[in-house]
Amino acid sequence: MLKCIQNLGHSALMLAENTGVSFKFLCKIIFKFPRKLNHWYAVIEQIYFLGVLSLVIILISGAFIGMVVALQGYHTLSEFGAQSELSKLIALSVFRELGPVVTALLFAGRAGSALTAEVGLMKVGDQLTSMEVMAVDPISYVAFPRFVAGIITMPLLAILFCATAIYAGYLVSVFWLGIDSGTFLSVMKSGVDFNVDVMQGIKKSFIFGVVASFIAIYQGFHTDNTASGLGRAATKTVVFSSIAILGLDFILTAFMLGG
Amino acid sequence: MVERMQKNKKDSESVPLLEVKNVTFKRDGRYILKNVSFSLHKGNIVAVMGPSGTGKTTLLSLINALIKPDSGKILFKGIDMHELSLKDLYKVRSEIGHMFQNGALFSHLSVFDNVAFPLRENTNLTDDMIRDLVTLKLEAVGLRGVATKMPEQLSGGMARRVALARSTALDPELMLYDEPFTGQDPISSGVLTTSIMKMRDILNLTSIIVTHDLQAVTKVADVVHIIGSGEILASGSVAEILSSTDPAVVQFVSGAADGVIPFHYPTDKTLTQDLIYA
Ligand SMILES: Nc1ncnc2c1ncn2[C@@H]1O[C@H](COP(=O)(O)OP(=O)(O)O)[C@@H](O)[C@H]1O
Ligand SMILES: [Mg+2]
């Protein structure tokens, strides 16, 4: 019993310590504005790297999600005889929920784990330490460009995801389910408010970008100096990011809709 | 030669370039280094020898302030590096070259870019000047021919030589070498020792070399420190070490497993216990 309480206390302390360490690391990255133009070029390079890495999977998943939502939505809406509202249903669910969330989950699985593996390999091979001895701060050289690139890339990917999903939904609705293409577009246009619905999705996506890239970089920088440490760090990135994204999505949605 | 000895003698009366004072370092409650002290002056070449796992790499990390000692001080030109702010620490570090045991080359950069890295990050030299400097540095380690290769295409010994070129790129005052001769054939090893001596003679470069290579040490080192179990067991010139009757030194020089320096990592079970009751 005593031991149980002791363990609980220990876990709580560890949690507090980890939170503290991560927060300190986050502050370090944010306040490490690069002192050289090169580091800003590195941001562009990283956007390219992260974007290209995730692009294919994002587009394919977007298409499937759009088609599935169209089929499911049609099935449910036809029970109320409201098939004509299908495009509104597709657009709203994609812009507000599926776009940002699924993009973030895919980003964490594809780009996030690759980022952790890349940085973790630098850590394990003493490359980060060798930067320090050459008077180069690994936080501004390695962490900063990747962090900023992740934050910029995520909303861009989410927008591409939404576009693909809606287009795929359009194709299914019009050519398979027989909805008039004019109705589809006009209902969507009147049902979606850019400043509210689309912007909410982009805001979410931006926050997911911060969280997913931070977790990936943090895990990379804190990889154990072993071969198995690298695999564990990549797994942790995917697990922690997914939980964080879904949890945050709930909180953000509650604020955005409930407020 | 005489001139250099006089110069060394004169320098030795002034402030030492590096002073390691009673440094103790623990890891998970275990002593890695215990009360280690030594100092060196400008132009000295000091060899640190000892069995693997005795904390030689740790000692270099402490000297370069990558980790903090539990007690004791390390002074570089009289400055305690562990007390500096990150910015000042980086300024001091640009005067210290540190070659890692495994080379630690950047895997995303070519050999050329690896050597150019410290120059690009820490100086405002033009691309042309950087190209010339890097080419000369690579030429000095005999690897100008691999400039466009990626680090994974190099052998361990070659990677270490590139790392050497990279760590001397900023013309440091103090060089820390972690096992530079490991994985080198006799020719490269000979070239490395000559280049270490040349850099001392021409640039008055100070070096600390961690190594197992007795033959190389006898060629280059002014002073040899032998460490075992985290302590300095013996220090002296190469001649003194070779003729020493100190059991630890004799054991290390002759390579015997039994003696003052334990060959076996400490364990509380006997071999019989491990074999029979496993
Ligand atoms: N990151 C680390 N975590 C825990 N123990 C370590 C670490 N690095 C080194 N050690 C331990 O410290 C001791 C000294 O290591 P090191 O300085 O690398 O030895 P050497 O370079 O002389 O072979 C070894 O016993 C090693 O097990
Ligand atoms: Mg070592």
Q: pLDDT per residue over B36-73, tens digit each?
A: 998 899 988 999 988 888 889 999 999 999 999 999 98
Average pLDDT for chain A: 89
Query: A13 falls in which pLDDT band (50, 70, 90)?
Result: confident
Question: From the CB of B53, is ligand 1 less than 6 Å away?
Answer: yes
Gyration radius of chain B over CA positions:
20
Residue tagged 């619905």 (tokens): A197
What pLDDT sits at residue B47? Answer: 92
Classify residue A112: in a domain, yes or no: yes
A197: buried, middle or exposed (CB in 10 Å: 19+, 13-18, 0-12)?
middle
Look up the CATH architecture of domain B17-95+172-276. 3-Layer(aba) Sandwich (3.40)
The number of folded domains in chain A is 1
Q: What is the CA radius of gyration of chain A?
A: 22
Please indicate, yes or no, if residue A43 is contained in any of the structural domains: yes
CA of B9, closest CA in chain A: separation in Å? 30
CB contact under 8 Å between B107 and A36, yes or no, is no
Residues of B in contact with A123 (CB under 8 A): none
Domain membership of residue A2 (yes or no) is: no
- Percentage of chain A exceeding pLDDT 90: 59
CB contact set of A75 (below 8 Å; sequence gap of 6+): none
- What is the per-residue pLDDT across B66-121, written as a single tens digit (0 to 9) for each? 999 999 989 998 888 888 888 888 888 888 999 998 889 999 999 999 999 999 98
Q: Are A6 and A117 in contact (CB under 8 A)?
A: no
Beta-sheet strand order (sheet of B96-99): B96-99, B174-178, B206-210, B45-49, B223-228, B231-236
pLDDT digits (tens, 9 = 90+) for B126-175: 999 999 999 999 988 888 999 999 999 998 888 888 998 999 888 899 99
Residue where the block lists tokens 């030109």 = B77
Decide if B104 touches A, using CB distance below 8 A.
yes
In degrees and rounded to multiples of 5, residue A224 shows phi and psi of -65, 145
> Of the candidates A63, A81, A105, which has an alpha carbon nearest to the alpha carbon of residue A238?
A105
Q: Which of B24, B36, B58 to mutate to test the pocket of ligand 1 (most atoms within 8 A of CB)?
A: B58
pLDDT exceeds 60 at position B13:
no
C-alpha A104 – ligand 2 centre gap (Å)? 42
Task: Pick A134's closest partner by Cβ from B66, B102, B121.
Answer: B121
pLDDT exceeds cutoff 80 at B252:
no
Q: What's the confidence (pLDDT) of residue B24?
A: 92
Chain-chain contact of A136 with B122 (C-beta, under 8 angstroms): yes
Q: State what percent of residues in chain B have pLDDT above 70.
A: 91
Mean pLDDT of B9-17: 64
Would you list the domain boundaries of chain B? 17-95+172-276, 105-170
Predicted structure pTM score: 0.84
Closest listed residue to residue B63, CA positions, set B45, B40, B87, B88: B40
Q: Give per-residue burial for A93-125: e unless 16+ CB within 10 Å, then b.
A: bbbbebbbbbbbbbbbbbbbbbbbbbbbbbbbb
Q: At residue B135, what is the residue type? A: T
Instruction: Give the range of the structural domain holding residue A201, as residue numbers without chain letter.
Output: 32-256
- Top residue of B64, B86, B106 to mutate, by most chain A CBs within 10 Å, is B106
C-beta of B52 in contact with ligand 1 (< 6 A): yes
Read off the pLDDT band of B1 (50, 70, 90).
very low
d(CA A105, CA A1): 40
Residue A114 domain flag: yes
> Which range, A108-122, B205-219, B264-278, has the best average confidence (pLDDT)?
A108-122
Regarding the beta carbon of B245 and ligand 1, being less than 6 Å apart is answered no
Question: What pLDDT was estimated at residue A35?
Answer: 63
CB contact, 8 Å: B31 with chain A?
A: no
What pLDDT score was predicted for residue B262? Answer: 66
Distance from CA of B107 to the nearest CA of A (A): 8
In a domain, A11, yes or no: no
Q: What confidence tier does B255 reach under pLDDT thresholds 50, 70, 90?
A: low
Integer Cα distance of A2 and B161 in angstroms: 57
What's the pLDDT at A19?
Answer: 80
Instruction: With respect to residue A4, please indicate whether it lies within any of the assigned structural domains.
Output: no
Instruction: Please give the average per-residue pLDDT across B194-199, as a whole number.
Output: 84
More confident residue, A34 or B214: B214
| Ligand positioned closest to the Cα atom of B50 | 1
pLDDT digit string, tens, across residues A193-245? 888 889 999 999 999 999 999 999 999 999 998 878 999 999 999 999 999 99
Residue B203 has pLDDT above 90, yes or no: no
Measured between CA atoms, the residue of chain A closest to residue B100 is A130
Is ipTM > 0.85 here? no
Q: What is the DSSP string of chain B?
A: -HHHHHHHHHHHHS--SEEEEEEEEEETTEEEEEEEEEEE-TT-EEEEE--TTSSHHHHHHHHTTSS--SEEEEEETTEEGGGS-HHHHHHHHTTEEEE-TT----TTS-HHHHHHHHHHHH----HHHHHHHHHHHHHHTT-GGGTTS-GGGS-HHHHHHHHHHHHTTT--SEEEEESTTTT--HHHHHHHHHHHHHHHHHH--EEEEE-S-HHHHHHH-SEEEEEETTEEEEEE-HHHHHT---HHHHHHHHT-SSSSS-SSPP-SS-HHHHHH--
Is residue A99 included in any domain, yes or no? yes
Q: How far is A153 from B30, CA to CA, in rounded Å?
A: 46
Q: Using the beta-carbon criterion (under 8 Å), do B170 and A137 form an inter-chain contact? A: no
Ligand found nearest the CA of B54: 1
d(CA B88, ligand 1 centre) in Å: 28
Q: Return d(Cα A196, Cα A219) in angstroms, integer.
A: 34
Tokens of B103: 């080379």
Least confident of A175-179, B144-148, B269-273: B269-273
More confident: B227 or B8? B227
Residue A50 phi, psi dihedral angles, 5° rounding: -70, -40
